[in-house]
Amino acid sequence: MSHILLFEPKKDQVRRLIFLLRLSGHNCTIAYTLEETLNWLKTKQLLENGFELLLIGANAEMEAQKTLLKEAQSKNPLPVVCLQDKPAGNHDQELPDGIEYCQPEELMSKLNDCLPITSVYGSPSKSEGEGADLY
């Protein structure tokens, strides 16, 4: 199973996402603030299994997306999926390259596209049940 780091600033949105992720067999660590998410990303290399994907919730601001993408792509790159429409209009120069955007109904398909094949099809997780806010 994969281990996903979820950044969603609105706590009321987390329950639905966790349900979908768990139903699909993914482990998830939740971060509610940008600072907490950055701390998890910086310490991911200390974890035995680390994270295999960063999922950014629909309520994250553009500046937070840029900051998280920069950290996720440093050293050991991590796929990043943002759960919202790609902003329309003249924002192309502002959008960070490397973030995959999707709607909630496309989430599982997008995760399957972005995660390593062994994660999607259930290689055993050594850290299942360990860690703070691991669901």
CATH code where residue 69 lies: 3.40.50.2300
What are the residues facing 54 on neighbouring strands?
5, 80
- Residue 108 belongs to what domain range? 3-120
- Are 14 and 8 spatial neighbours (Cβ–Cβ below 8 Å)? yes
Tokens of 98: 């490397």
Per the domain annotation, does 130 fall within a domain?
no
How many domains does the chain contain in total?
A: 1
> Cβ atoms within 10 A of the Cβ of 53, count?
23
Cβ atoms within 10 Å of 11's Cβ, excluding its own: 9
What span, in angstroms and rounded, lies between the C-alpha atoms of 39 and 105? 29
**131 within domain boundaries:** no
Q: Report pTM.
A: 0.78
Tens-digit pLDDT string for the chain (135 aa): 788 999 999 988 898 889 889 988 899 999 999 999 999 988 876 666 688 899 999 888 888 888 888 888 886 788 899 988 766 555 555 556 678 888 888 888 999 888 876 544 444 443 444 444 554
On whether residue 132 sits in a domain, the answer given is no
Token couple for 76? 């050991």
Place of tokens 């995959």: 100
